[in-house]
Amino acid sequence: MKDLFVACASLILVSFILPPSPKPFLKSKSIYDFKVEGLSGGTIDFSQFKGKKILIVNTVSHCKFTPQYEYLEKLYQKYKNKLVIVGFPTNNFDPEFSTSDSIKAFCVKNYGVTFPMSAKVSVKGGDIAPIFKWLTNKAENGVMDAEITWNFTKFLLDENGVLIAKFDSNVGPLSDDIVKYLR
């Protein structure tokens, strides 16, 4: 009995001395794990964009940067064999139309938008959409922390889904800062 007591006490003591076993490494979520509701219904599945660069943009229909829709569409048409643009309408900085149909009609009528658009989301704050939480937090995307300070902030991901750049609103879609990644 004494031997059993010594053995148990030894095991308990060793468990306090030895470091805990390491937890298995869990790969963080990839951009390809995200699925979002599309503006016209359905789902935008980011796994469908493997092998292409992805430009994610928070958009709004009424702001001084709204004319960037035209240039986003031109960029999309020129590079659509190797680039997909996904617009994310939001109310975070300026009011957006209240319905998806109104947003879509505005984008198509005024700017001829054909690139994928999500349903309206939040890009910051307590109700931030998971994809924007991933884009703006290094702990999640593995690359950078980024703050979205206004509409038409752009995030560029490479063909492997790795975040490679963030561009503020004042960087136009056809600027060399962006196009250099697509040549």
Class of residue 176 by CB neighbours under 10 A (exposed 0-12, middle 13-18, buried 19+): exposed
Calpha distance 33→53 (Å, rounded): 16
Query: What's the DSSP call for residue 76?
Result: H
- φ, ψ (nearest 5 deg) of residue 36: -130, 155
| Domain of residue 105, residue span | 29-179
Total structural domains within the chain = 1
User: Does residue 15 fall inside a structural domain?
Assistant: no
More confident: 183 or 17: 183
User: Does residue 128 fall inside a structural domain?
Assistant: yes
Give residue-wise pLDDT tens across range 59-106: 999 999 999 999 999 999 999 999 999 999 999 999 999 999 999 999
User: Does residue 114 fall inside a structural domain?
Assistant: yes
Rg, Å, the chain Cα set: 23
Cα 139 from chain centroid (whole Å): 14
pTM given for the model: 0.85
- φ, ψ (nearest 5 deg) of residue 35: -130, 130
User: Does residue 118 fall inside a structural domain?
Assistant: yes
**Residue 107 a catalytic site member:** no
User: Does residue 4 fall inside a structural domain?
Assistant: no
The answer to whether 60 and 72 have CB atoms below 8 angstroms apart is no
Calpha distance 133→121 (Å, rounded): 12
Class of residue 96 by CB neighbours under 10 A (exposed 0-12, middle 13-18, buried 19+): buried
User: Does residue 7 fall inside a structural domain?
Assistant: no
| CATH code (residue 169) | 3.40.30.10
From 33, 37, 63, 133, active-site residue: 63
At residue 9 the predicted structure's pLDDT band, cuts being 50, 70 and 90, is low
Calpha distance 93→84 (Å, rounded): 25
Q: Which residues contact 64 (CB under 8 A, 6 or more apart)?
A: none
Which residue type sits at 4? L
β-bridge mates for residue 38, sequence order: 118
User: Does residue 16 fall inside a structural domain?
Assistant: no
User: Does residue 57 fall inside a structural domain?
Assistant: yes
Residue 127: Cβ within 10 Å count: 9
pLDDT at site 28 = 59
**Mean pLDDT, residues 128-148:** 97
